[in-house]
Amino acid sequence: MSSPQLVRNARLMASTAAKHFTDDPIVLLALASQRLPSSWMSKIGPVARLLPRQLLLRSLLSLVAGDQKELQAQLTAAQNKPDTRSAHKVRLANIALAAGLPDAASSLLSGASPTKASVAPSIARLRWYNGDMQGAVEALKDISGRRALHMRNRLESERQVFHGWQPSLSSVEGYKPTAETVLHVLTNSLPHTGSGYAQRSHSVLKAQRQSGWNVHAVTRPGYPVQLGMFAARSSDVIDDVVYHRILPATLPEGMAARLQYQAEQTLQLALTVRPSVLHTTTHFVNAVVTAAVAEALGIPWVYEVRGQLADTWASPRGAEARTSERYLAFVARESEATLRADQCATLGSEMKSAIIVRESDGPEIELLPNGVGEAFLDAPMKAMAARQRLGLPVEGVFVGTVSSLVDYEGLDDLIGAFAELAKSNDALMCLIVGGGAAEASLRQQAKESGFTHRIIFTGRVDRKLAHLYHQALDIFVVPRKDSHVTRSVTPLKPVEALASSRPVVFSALPALQETIRDGVEGIAVEPSNRSELAGALGSLAEDARLRHRMGAAGRERILAERTWTAVAFQTTVMYERLKVSQ
């Protein structure tokens, strides 16, 4: 890497940290803590409990440790304690918001003057969290000082984007695209992010490259340096797919200015790689940039809906969030993106139906389902052999999952059902692979269950080993909670589990029911019903033949219908059709 790039990266990291610190040092701390090893996080919680009189510090450490139960106890104590200093209540309210506890924040801020400079930013954060974008800006209207001005400008800029702002680019005269060349506009990517989003993107891009297309991708400005990747390069080449980075020394202030800059930089890149089509994914900020570039070049573009992100935002906030300014604006912009694109695509039938209901006059929607490739295509190992390879206990029947550890995945129900079964089944083991915001609370639940020695948490693992962890399980579990998001969005992990020849016990949600055949490849159970989940796990744990039969049926179908090569072929046919229709 060149020295100038390292200098730019250092300046970008410093400016990003400074902006977060100016805006909200609590959020900066919470973001930084997500980069800590899970072994460190597990030690922070007990330290917090040793500080009974240090309410603020104890709450802060509980936030970092992800100990929601302890944090709620501290916030409740502060609300009920009449001598808690006003300044401490404001700071505790910021901690509550960083933890996603708006009711506690509201209680702590009640009675405070909204015009007081030390209180107004916290009130603005609370309103913003609840989706009252205009109210958040107005809370800072009459507050002086650089910090309040910076925050007000940032919020107003983002509000403008949600309410229809568009980047502006001049048309490129005489642009001549290169045949069979595509530029993907992505939020993040391998090798710096190992999420299902990043893995799906790379799998499709790699398969497109292998089919003969010239494939490029570009990620959002500042990524991945803003995640702490100081040594990030201006591009990465993985499996002949080129990932371009937009890494200036500093980024423009405000969402609108950043998106304008992203559009300009993406256009410059397009003039170099000369794509014949652009392809982007949710959410709408990617779409507004991609649409502007495509229109400037006079080429078609594809919008791939991979999730209902407005519903994802609203899900932890309660029913009232779905009538908020932010939610309604979010939905409107997503609708605009699907209608504006030359082609809209999505992952499953439930998501397709939701889009059609919302945009009845839109273009035909292409189905591009999740698939498998590489190691998942090879004959899977027996569970005991995979566990031996990974250094896990070999004996027993292992139930569990490979997943992001977040609340809507329902892994608390998995642990609860396992604990119920473990009392009468000494051979049963539970394996939870992955990391995330819910990890600390899940570990605490496992400890309280009395079966810590039989519940194994691996933390985040190398993506290259993911197939082995799938194979280490005898029964794969997808116990998702029931919500607007989980009913419609089809995850990647059950497809990989079926390809691994493992039966899947899953919540009876439409998006999962269209992915797994109940009674053939797995067993559907009522969401959040731990007794029913325990019953399904118990029946499979006791019947090796049934596990084998269901696993074999799932693998046969996935290999026939759901490979990344097949999905990539669909995308290239779609691209060719768009060029013909121009």
Using the predicted structure, report yes or no on whether residue 49 has a pLDDT greater than 60. Answer: no
What pLDDT shows up at residue 189?
A: 97
What pLDDT shows up at residue 580?
A: 61
What pLDDT shows up at residue 581?
A: 62
pLDDT digit string, tens, across residues 479-534 = 999 998 999 999 999 999 999 999 999 999 999 999 999 999 999 999 999 999 99
Across residues 425-449, what is the average pLDDT? 93
- Give pTM, 2 decimals: 0.92
Print the SS3 string covering 336-401.
HHHHHCCEEEECCHHHHHHHHHHCCCCCCEEECCCCECHHHHCCCCCHHHHHHHHCCCCCCEEEEE
What pLDDT shows up at residue 582?
A: 61
Candidates 477, 469, 507; CA nearest to 494 is 477
Report the CATH architecture of 374-562. 3-Layer(aba) Sandwich (3.40)
Burial environment of residue 305 by CB neighbours within 10 A (0 to 12, 13 to 18, 19 or more): buried
Of the two residues 62 and 301, the one the predictor is more confident about is: 301
Candidates 514, 506, 524; CA nearest to 561 is 514
Any idea which fold 181-367 has? Rossmann fold (3.40.50)
What pLDDT shows up at residue 78?
A: 84
pLDDT tier, 25 (very low <50, low <70, confident <90, very high otherwise): confident
- Sign of the dihedral defined by the CA atoms of residues 371, 374, 377, 381, in that order: negative
pLDDT tier, 292 (very low <50, low <70, confident <90, very high otherwise): very high
What pLDDT shows up at residue 62?
A: 83
Q: What are phi and psi of 543, to 5 degrees?
A: -130, 90
Name the token pair of 330.
């979010």
Q: d(Cα 288, Cα 258) in Å, to the nearest integer?
A: 12
Name the token pair of 497.
């589990």
Using the predicted structure, report yes or no on whether residue 51 has a pLDDT greater than 60. Answer: no
pLDDT tier, 146 (very low <50, low <70, confident <90, very high otherwise): confident
pLDDT digit string, tens, across residues 151-162 = 999 999 999 999
Across residues 168-197, what is the average pLDDT? 95
Q: How many residues does this entry show for the chain?
A: 582
Residues in contact with 57: Cβ distance below 8 Å, sequence separation at least 6, in sequence order:
48, 51
Using the predicted structure, report yes or no on whether residue 112 has a pLDDT greater than 70. Answer: no
Across residues 463-480, what is the average pLDDT? 96
What pLDDT shows up at residue 362?
A: 61
Q: Please spell the DSSP secondary structure of 175-190, one letter per residue.
A: --PPTTEEEEEES--T
Angle at 561 between CA 181 and CA 483, to 5 degrees: 90
Q: d(Cα 554, Cα 549) in Å, to the nearest integer?
A: 9
Residues in contact with 231: Cβ distance below 8 Å, sequence separation at least 6, in sequence order:
1, 6, 9
Q: d(Cα 155, Cα 160) in Å, to the nearest integer?
A: 9
- Sign of the dihedral defined by the CA atoms of residues 311, 317, 319, 323, in that order: negative
Q: d(Cα 565, Cα 106) in Å, to the nearest integer?
A: 51
What rounded mean pLDDT belongs to the chain? 91
